[in-house]
Amino acid sequence: MDRSRRNLLLGKPLQVAPPLRLPWVISEAVFAEGCTQCGDCLSACPEDILVRGGDGSIRVDFSGGECTFCHKCVDACAEPLFRAADEPAWLAALHIKDNCLAKNSIYCQSCKDVCDAQAIEFRYDSAIPTPRIRQSLCTNCGACVGTCPSQSLELIPLLEPDYVQ
């Protein structure tokens, strides 16, 4: 069921996931209030996956690489915006969109090939194997997101436990 369409027809506000922020950020509210947008994290990130959004705020963009969880962005930040590094970097879930090549009967396993955690598996439900995500194994590093030729993978920040459909 498309919840956003249903909410629109019922006159309810649309629930939109916030952009993915730096790893280990306490919450979107803490980040929005406490980030000074100084850019220290941008210059500290060796993978260059941190970018400025249209509003100037910092967000993660995996199109050019993956997070290696080096902690340099957190170390560069002077603000108290972060959880402990022994917790998961993001409270997010990997989602495969409907434009996935494998879901559309075109052989592709590029996401599986770059997933060191082996969180993406392919099953032969038909002649072309289709991807399945094992969320419990996913580190949310984003390696698969930038590699996907159809841009069909996304990390969705979790607003509530049942956000990802």
| Beta strand residue intervals within the chain, DSSP E | 50-52, 58-60, 92-96, 120-123, 130-133, 153-157
Q: What is the pTM of this model?
A: 0.80
Q: What is the mean pLDDT of residues 42-69?
A: 94
Distance CA 4, CA 17 (A): 12
Q: What is the mean pLDDT of residues 140-154?
A: 95
Contact by Cβ (8 Å): 151, 110: no
Q: What is the mean pLDDT of residues 128-144?
A: 95
Q: What is the token pair recorded at 153?
A: 């993978």
